[in-house]
Amino acid sequence: MAYFYDLPKIELSQLNDMGPASIKLLNQLGINNIAELLLHLPRGYEDRRLILPIAHIRPGQKYLIRVNVRDMQNMAGPKGGCNVLVDDESGKLSIRYFKLKTHQLGYTTASGPILFYGEVKYSARTGKEMIHPERLRATNAPGIVAIYPVCETLSQSRFRKWIAQALDLLSKDDPYHTLIKQIHVPDCIESVTLLEDFKHPAQVKLIIEELAAQHLKLFHVRRTQSLASARSLEFCQEQDKWIRQRLGFSLTGAQERVINEILADLYQSRPMLRLVQGDVGSGKTAVAALIATQALAAGWQVAVMAPTDLLAEQLYQRMQSWFEPSFVVVFLSGRLKKSERRVVHSLLQTSQPLLAIGTHALFQEDVVFSNLGLIIIDEQHRFGVEQRLALRNKAAKEAEAHVLIMTATPIPRTLSMSLLGDLDQSVLDERPPGRQSIITRLISLDRIDELCDRLHHHCQGQHRAYWVCPLIEESEVIPAQAAELRFDWLRNRLPELRIAIIHGRISAVQRHATMSQFQNGELDVLVATTVIEVGVDVPEATLMIIENPERLGLAQLHQLRGRVGRGADQSYCILLFQQPLSPMATERLSLLRQTEDGFALAEADLRLRGPGEMLGVRQSGLGQGRIADLERDAYLLEQARTRANALFEAPESEQSTILKFWTPHADEYSKA
């Protein structure tokens, strides 16, 4: 008998009827030991307690019947199969099997009463019938039965046998025995309702334990970081004055406060790991420039990573205008020619201070920095933990690089504690002076002609506009406007305007060319998908039209709205919705009209749509576990943090056991 936290040590081969082929099947399901088998939770349950007479069953539903076999006939033809005629006191029913002969079924007309469970169908030839029903034996007698997510080649009954054996291996003295058994073998129909909603006390306790382990993992990451060494920075007043003059504008109080928080980290001899959350247009890039200047003045190399080629190139052009010719600024992305990449690689291997700006290409194996001291990651929720680790490992082993992470996606405090508990956090909560609020309006699709007239008038002079659609091309499944169709429609409706389109299927070269035309004033309207969501900066663009906004999250809508209002002119955001709107969509879009506070909208998104919608993507290694799911279980985060605090005071051996069980890759993330 074993205890819960010892189960990973028990191999699958210890179960009966578990040969190499069966182990391979389970491995494909992500099950490698007894612990992972028991944590492979049911996807639903079937109530098989009631045995009904054949006369009372109806097509389209599943039933449990007790019948006698009256006749068995093999079907002719290459596919084979057989028909079995069964009955009870109330009527008859046909059971059909494909690719099976009567001698393979394991029963005959003399077998006595047999229990079958399956869906009833109706055939004009045979009447009521079941196709491949499950035959119940003594080991799976009537009751509430768990249904598992398994592959087609693995039967439910066989998987349940393994679960039963695994439960027998778990010591009955272990409190987790009762919890696990309640999940796999519920004792009443009331439990099933809770289990299917993941609200059963047994599930809740396990979820809290797993979330607590993730919190504990982050505690250990912070402790590991506090013991690491990094070069400390000496502030250079002259360089600070120089970059402020190059920027050409005054910083806000929030920017000054955040810069001081970052510099305080850099003065220490341990590596900084700080997240700067700044609402749309709050000036994160200027903060990054002032910090990079100090690192360059200290003789360090600085790497700045952006999530897309478009954003990386835009950032490169801006940094070039600020830093050159005083400092070298290089660009690295996957679309560079080999000869261009070789030049950049050779520069990185020199010890001279420089600013390297690029995409994920910065952390490829063949990229070697000789003097990397500071890493700045833009829109960090679009990078996984592994990517952060890969870039940080580019620094010299004797002195780790400082890491500054920036995001324009405000993260609610509760969620931030779970996903980003290993980071110190700063908030830019002030707009640069001179920027007006964006006027947001809701317009029904019925008024699209009126909107087009407004668009034509708006684009006279220097003003430009975005028109965003949720899809690239028309879909038979999703009722939303496609960018390509809207692009053609607008060109026919407004032939005098210069209109272009960008989306993810257009080549990177063409996207860059189109975006450059829009930035340079050679286009009036840019039709796009959400590819323009983050970072694109065109001050002359003062109108944002978002079609089918009900299909997007509040955070994403707020990001899109933030593409306008970048200059001093009044900007507008039009939400072009399709009637009728659901109550939730009405509430969300009304909230967007009422506020431009990204943090308030993020909290609302977390409440209405869940953390996955707010972040846009799941972070690799964070928030998604064996049982816990932040989409569903965010309400348990506070309890999990309390449990993690208690675990942090437990003996090291107990902490290690829990971490290895719930977060088997914790050692990798402790370096991230």
Q: What is the pLDDT of residues 122-143, one digit of tens each?
A: 988 889 999 999 888 755 567 8
**In one letter, which amino acid is 287?**
V
pLDDT of residue 95: 96
Domains of the chain: 4-47+143-197 (no CATH), 54-140 (2.40.50.140), 232-428 (3.40.50.300), 439-595 (3.40.50.300)
pLDDT of residue 618: 39
Question: For residue 225, which of 276, 272, 274 has the smallest C-alpha distance?
Answer: 272
Q: 306: buried, middle or exposed (CB in 10 Å: 19+, 13-18, 0-12)?
A: buried
Question: For residue 639, which of 201, 237, 221 has the smallest C-alpha distance?
Answer: 201
* CA–CA gap between residue 256 and residue 248 (Å, rounded): 15
Residues 288-308 have pLDDT tens digits of: 999 999 999 999 999 999 887
Three-state SS at 119: strand
| Residues of the chain where predicted confidence (pLDDT) is lower than 50 | 475-479, 612-623, 668-672
Which region holds residue 77: left if phi is over 0, alpha if psi is between -120 and 50, else beta? left
Instruction: Sheet with 354-358: list strands edge to edge.
Output: 328-332, 354-358, 301-305, 372-378, 402-407, 273-278, 424-428
* CA–CA gap between residue 35 and residue 229 (Å, rounded): 38
Dihedral over Cα of 642, 646, 648, 649: its sign: positive
pLDDT of residue 79: 73
pLDDT of residue 416: 62
* CA–CA gap between residue 202 and residue 181 (Å, rounded): 9
* CA–CA gap between residue 637 and residue 212 (Å, rounded): 8
Three-state SS at 373: strand
Q: 111: buried, middle or exposed (CB in 10 Å: 19+, 13-18, 0-12)?
A: exposed
Strands (E), 90-214: 91-97, 114-123, 127-131, 134-136, 144-147
Helix (H) or strand (E) holding 374: strand 372-378
* CA–CA gap between residue 380 and residue 387 (Å, rounded): 10
Question: For residue 179, which of 207, 138, 140 has the smallest C-alpha distance?
Answer: 207
In the numeric block, the tokens 């070298």 are attached to 328
pTM for the whole structure: 0.69
